Structure 1
Amino acid sequence: MLEKRLRREVAVVFLFYNLKKWSSGILEASKTARTDFSMCKNIVSVIAIILFANFPALANSAYDENKMLIIATKEAAPFSIKTDEGWCGISIELWQQICRDLGIHYEFKEMGLEEMLEAVSHGKVDAAVAAITITKEREEAFNFSHPYYTTGLGIATKKKNEGRWMSIVKQFFSGSFLSVVGVLSVILLLTGIFIWFFERKKNPEQFGEKPIEGIGAGFWWAAVTMTTVGYGDKAPVTFGGRLVALVWMFAGLIFISSFTAAITTALTVDELGSVIHGPNDLFKVRVGTVAGSTSEKYLIQKHIGYKKYHSIDGCLASLKQDNIDAVVYDEPIIRYLISKEDATELKVLENTFKKQYYAFAIPAGSPLEESLNRKLAEIIGSQEWRDLLYKYMGQ
């Protein structure tokens, strides 16, 4: 953006220099040829008109101080906050200070993010003031002021309020753990049926002749044999029963090791799966973000699945209701909102990623750009700016 502005200014200076040189030549020629001086003035005037027509930014280098500017904004606390008394926040109050110093008159107009950016692009508003991130795509559609705040994306998750033991108890009733126990029970039942089938007539004292009693005894025998407890209260006496027992003894060693590992995994996988340490963990959880935001663009670039919402408030509400596992958005905004309303339920991870720069959005060729940037550079180096940041963010 700065490079583009510099090229334009150099081109204007170059054209003015050549215009002056050309007009002097024309005047000299007019004296020599005794041409009417008024004709030379007309030629210079026509050239000047053409020049200014092709450089509207130069023709509009000064803005009308009496004009009421339309400034688009949206709620993005703590940078733009809507109250009963009007708008406030870091970006809003910075803009207000600039306008007071420059004598600019303005009024705010609330819009959605995508609507606001489109309005700036088409010149329907004079500027957009909120938490607006500078991106390459946006710079192609309109201009930005110098950046006034550096930040990054953050991740909000839900706090785990229960203690460690309560969490462990909950895992015993999870679907993954119950499915492991169910498969094990089916295998024990099948083994019990086989052993009862061979022992029911020649060994009714231990396994019983009736199906319910015999299969129950066989189930018990299969369980104690698999776990190598071996109480010895029941033992097969038939050839078929002993063959089943021999196979089951060796198979039991394999089953008990496999199911021990499966049960351990079932007890820990849900706990581990819900822990999010950073952006690399977003691939395995349900993510939410705001439509049209730079965080949505980041998720698309990284091929991370997500659910989009119209506002950050909708994202955080969905997170509290367990509809999603994480919210990706501008770190200072989600940290501020959670600290004010949901500090007991939600948290923001400490590390930020994907650096971002906030700036004011202005239409291309805006007469405000140069004076806005000069005043912006003056304010963000002052104690007033540091006091404003501390007021809203404690930094």
Structure 2
Amino acid sequence: MRNVLVVMVFLWAVFSPGPPARAQAAGQPAAVPQKRVLTVGAMRAPPFSFQDAQGEWRGIGIDLWDNVAEEMGVEYVIKKYELKGLLDALERGEVDVAAAPLPITPENINHLDFSQAYYFSGLGIAVPRQPARNIFFHVVEELFSTQFLAYVALMGVLLVASGLVVWWIERRINPDQFGRGARGIVDGMWWSAVTMTTVGYGDAAPKSVFGRLLGMVWMFASVVLVSIFTASITTTLTVGRIGGKVAGPEDLSGAVVACVSQGSAEFFLRHTHIKPHTYPDLAAALTALANKEVDAVVDDRPLLLHTVRNAFGKKIEVLGASFDPTAYAFAFPLGGELRKPVNIALWRLRRDRDYWKGITGPYLGE
């Protein structure tokens, strides 16, 4: 019996499992999961992810992921999806990470995990590029514009009305300066003109009480009218030379705006009570802008910068304003193990200030 007990103790000592592995020390970097080659989901979304003429994947997100994978020491293959298919594949765990520009939104956070944001942006505005113009020809053009001629016509009507009234009041009391008939009417208009321009030659002046009261009213009114006229013309000449109809988001409500149908820009514009002209894709909207069929195009600013830089650089420019902010990040299946090591790699890359310019510069020109 004693021998049987000795044998049982010996067998337990040999084949029993060892002590449990010690938990990872606090503060140590998260280990990269040891598994098969990672599957990276991507979709066509320039300038973040797209295939060039040779079929190679390029873009801000792709280049950044390649550097992150190098920092982590992992290999990967890229699998192409459409947006809905990519989101479904992430939820089912068929891909390990999405290198496409997926925004961090409350809806997405409920179904996916995200890395720290690697790009902050928002909507942007594309407008026709303003060519350098000769100042002389620009002034001549504005002088014959509808707005300028309307100003001149209004001032002329007021001048004639004032001259007729003063002539009608003074024609009997002061016939030497405001004579009868056509000559007197011309005298009244002459007095109205020199009073409006504050020249006041003194060759004609009303003598009656009503005539002088009218003269006082016309003097003060003329100061206001001429000031408004001068300011309006100056503004028209200046604004017409330095910019177009849209200079920022605040000008969109009074302009003809285009956007891509069912995109984030359309939802934003309709939410702000702007009814846009919609197009099937950004190239079609920018073509309409280049042909001056619309005043501005609104879309994601990085996408505008990339598309304008590659195809519309001579006719269109993207304004510096950015609004309705969005943050882009790498996405993972919910509860995956890659999030922490990817964040660590991103922070290591972020230490190099010139690195981010090198990532975005080739695609956005920034």
With the shorter chain as reference, the TM-score category is: 0.5 to 0.7
Partners of 2:277 and 2:137 lie apart in 1 by 33
Task: Select between 342-351 and 256-265 the one with higher mean Cα deviation.
Answer: 342-351
8 Å CA contact retained: 2:113, 2:339: no
Letter in 2 for 1:151: F
2:118 equivalent in structure 1: 149
Q: 1:190 aligns with which of 142, 148, 161?
A: 161
Partner amino acid, structure 2, of 1:248 = L
- The whole-number CA distance in structure 2 between the counterparts of 1:339 and 1:176 is 35
Separation of aligned partners in 1, 2:187 and 2:128: 48
CA distance, structure 1, for counterparts of residue 154 and residue 318 of structure 2: 40
Which residue of the other structure, out of 301, 314, 337, is the alignment partner of 1:370? Answer: 337
Give CA-to-partner distance per residue, 1:181-215, whole Å, 9 cap, x none.
222221222233334556779959975635xx764
Match of 2:46 among 73, 76, 86: 76
Whether 1:130 aligns to 2:100 is yes
Contact 2:40–2:77, Cα closer than 8 Å, also in 1: no
Contact 2:245 2:295 in 1 (8 A): no
Q: In structure 2, what residue type is equivalent to 1:185?
A: G
Tell me how far apart the structure 1 counterparts of residues 90 and 346 of structure 2 sit (CA, whole Å).
Answer: 26
Q: CA deviation at 1:328?
A: 4.8
1:219 paired to 2:189: yes
2:174 maps to 1:209:
no
| Aligned with residue 179 of structure 1, among 128, 150, 166 | 150
Higher relative helix content? 1
- Partners of 1:381 and 1:308 in 2: how far apart? 44
1:227/1:252 contact within 8 Å kept = no
**DSSP-derived class of the 2:221 partner:** helix
Residue 214 of structure 2 is matched in structure 1 by 248
Match of 1:359 among 329, 334, 344: 329
Structure 2 gap ranges (5+): 1-32
**1:136-190 deviation line (CA, Å, top 9, x unaligned):** 23323x3144146222234544443335565555544454443332222212222
Where does residue 47 of structure 1 map in the other structure? none
CA contact (8 A) 1:176 1:266 kept: no
Following superposition, the deviation at residue 62 of structure 1 comes to 10
Structure 2 distance, partners of 1:185, 1:254, is 17
3-state DSSP of counterpart to 1:370 = coil
- For these two proteins, the number of residue pairs brought into alignment is 317
Distance 1:379 1:246, change over 3 A: closer
User: What displacement does 1:135 show?
Assistant: 1.8
User: What CA deviation, in whole Å up to 9, does each residue of 1:231-252 have, x standing for no partner?
Assistant: 456667xx8xx56642332122
Q: Which residue in 2 is equivalent to 1:261?
A: 227
CA distance in 2, matches of 1:85, 1:71: 19
Structure 1 residues without counterparts, runs of 5 or longer: 1-60
For 2:148 and 2:93, locate their aligned partners in 1 and report how far apart those are by CA, in whole Å: 59
Query: Which deviates more, 102-111 or 330-339?
Result: 102-111
- Cα distance in 1 for residues equivalent to 2:51 and 2:186: 70
Output one character per residue of 1:87-146: Cα deviation in whole Å (capped at 9) or x when no partner: 5322245567889986655542456xxx57875688698576533321223323x31441
User: 1:162 maps to which residue?
Assistant: 133
Distance 1:330 1:283 in 2: 16
1:224-303 matched pairs, under 5 angstroms: 224-231=194-201, 242=208, 245-270=211-236, 271=238, 281-282=250-251, 286=255, 289-290=259-260, 303=272
1:89 pairs, out of 56, 59, 64, with 59
Which secondary structure state, in structure 1, belongs to the residue aligned with residue 102 of structure 2? coil
Aligned equivalents of 1:360, 1:64: Cα separation in 2: 19
Residue identity in the other structure for 2:156 = S
TM-score, with structure 1 as normaliser: 0.58
1:307 matched to 2:276:
yes
- Cα distance, 1:275 vs. partner? 8.1
1:357-379 CA-to-partner distances (Å, cap 9, x unmatched) read 322445656xxx43476467547
Quote the Cα distance in structure 2 between the aligned partners of 1:117 and 1:296: 23
Give the conservation status (yes or no) of the 8 Å contact 2:162–2:189: yes
Shift in CA distance, 335/199, structure 1 to aligned 2, threshold 3 Å: same
State the Cα distance separating 1:258 from its structure 2 match.
1.4
1:144–1:359 CA contact under 8 A, matched in 2: no
